[in-house]
Structure 1
Amino acid sequence: MRDSYIRDDPGFIAWQQGRTAEAAARYQAWTELMKQATARGVAVRRARIVSEPLSDYCRFEYDVTARVNLAGGEQVRWLPRRRASDIALPGNDFWVFDGAYGKFNHFTGDGSSAGPEPFDDPRLVKLCVDAFEAVWERAVPHEEYRPA
């Protein structure tokens, strides 16, 4: 849900220098992990809520999504922030696993990781699942999304 994350990420730096293939290659371990998960029948869906025009970091994410996320079997959708104003969203990025537990990802103001926070409180899980489904329904599949 942020417009910028870890700006000293070597993949982001490679992308800034015009080396998109090298940037994507830095996430090969993630792509392989997703291939293994999706081969077992696990559905992996990722929704990105973004400001438009895209920040340089979100442009980087957009440019490597096909080579990293889609190549691993993830489904990715994009939702312009203006279209998310009426969706109740948790205050942090999150993952939900099997609809039963999750993990918040905390970041500092400059986008550095401040560590994860696991959760299994059914109320938090429901909040995150409901928010994600509302975003997913409204978001545009990566293959159709054209950043402003």
Structure 2
Amino acid sequence: MESLDSAGWARMFNSCRESACHLEMRDHYAVAEEEADIAKWRAGDWGPEQDAASKAGWLDLMRATSARGVRLRRARIVSEPVTEYIRFEHEGTPQNVAAGEEVRWLPRSRASGLALPGNDCWIFDRTTVLFNHFTGDGGWVGNELTTDPRVALLCAEAFESVWELGIPHDTYVPR
């Protein structure tokens, strides 16, 4: 298992030609680089400007990818009532949308009939899947890349089923 650095993420998106879809299924992520941001948000010292500055590199990559005509979509399956982390993520999503991502939210109770992969993943051009692995408490473990056509099809179809049922960001209100 490997962990992509910023150059690795850039290579993934720069090689993408048509679509990049991210399926997120966890209610809590405990990635180290967000801890200080979440603490500031919790204390009321966090807003759109701080959020955009914190993820400026990512937003730049999304703008550049979108400008090349790649469709960027992110679907999040969430439990309701949502966790504190999901509230933090929801408040920061307008910056992602402004950078070219389309985002939808699917309450977990509406996902019961869906066949889903076992891990969060990015699906690039429906041919390449980058799985994101986390510990049980949300800590980052690493990435796993596959171009297995069966896995890519499974993940692409799962993403589309979540997308179809999902609520667009501008109308989803976390409960």
* TM-score, scaled to structure 1: 0.95
**Cα shift readout 1:88-139 (whole Å, capped 9, x = no counterpart):** 0011000000111111000011211110000110110011001000000000
- 5 Å-filtered alignment, 1:113-124, equals 113-124=140-151
- State the match for 1:86 in structure 2: 113
**Cα shift readout 1:3-57 (whole Å, capped 9, x = no counterpart):** 0002642322222222133234201111111000001101000000000111000
Q: Hey, what's the Cα distance between the residues in 2 that align with 1:7 and 1:38?
A: 26
**Cα shift readout 1:48-69 (whole Å, capped 9, x = no counterpart):** 00001110000000000002x1
- State the match for 2:157 in structure 1: 130
Count residues in correspondence.
147
- State the match for 1:14 in structure 2: 40
Pair 1:77 & 2:131 matched? no
Pair 1:5 & 2:33 matched? no
Q: Hey, what's the Cα distance between the residues in 2 that align with 1:6 and 1:27?
A: 16
Unaligned runs of 5+ in 2: 1-24
Q: Hey, what's the Cα distance between the residues in 2 that align with 1:62 and 1:116?
A: 24
Unaligned runs of 5+ in 1: none
Contact 2:120/2:131 (<8 A) preserved:
yes
Q: Hey, what's the Cα distance between the residues in 1 that align with 2:47 and 2:112?
A: 32
Contact 1:103/1:117 (<8 A) preserved:
yes
Aligned pair partner of 2:65 in 33, 37, 44: 37
Pair 1:95 & 2:122 matched? yes
> For the aligned residues, what is the CA RMSD?
1.1
Contact 1:46/1:75 (<8 A) preserved:
yes
Which structure has the higher relative contact order (CA within 8 Å, separation 6+)? 2
Structure 1 segments (4+ residues) deviating >3 Å: none
Q: Hey, what's the Cα distance between the residues in 2 that align with 1:7 and 1:131?
A: 25
What fraction of aligned residue pairs are identical, expressed as a percent? 52
- State the match for 1:107 in structure 2: 134
Letter in 1 for 2:92: V
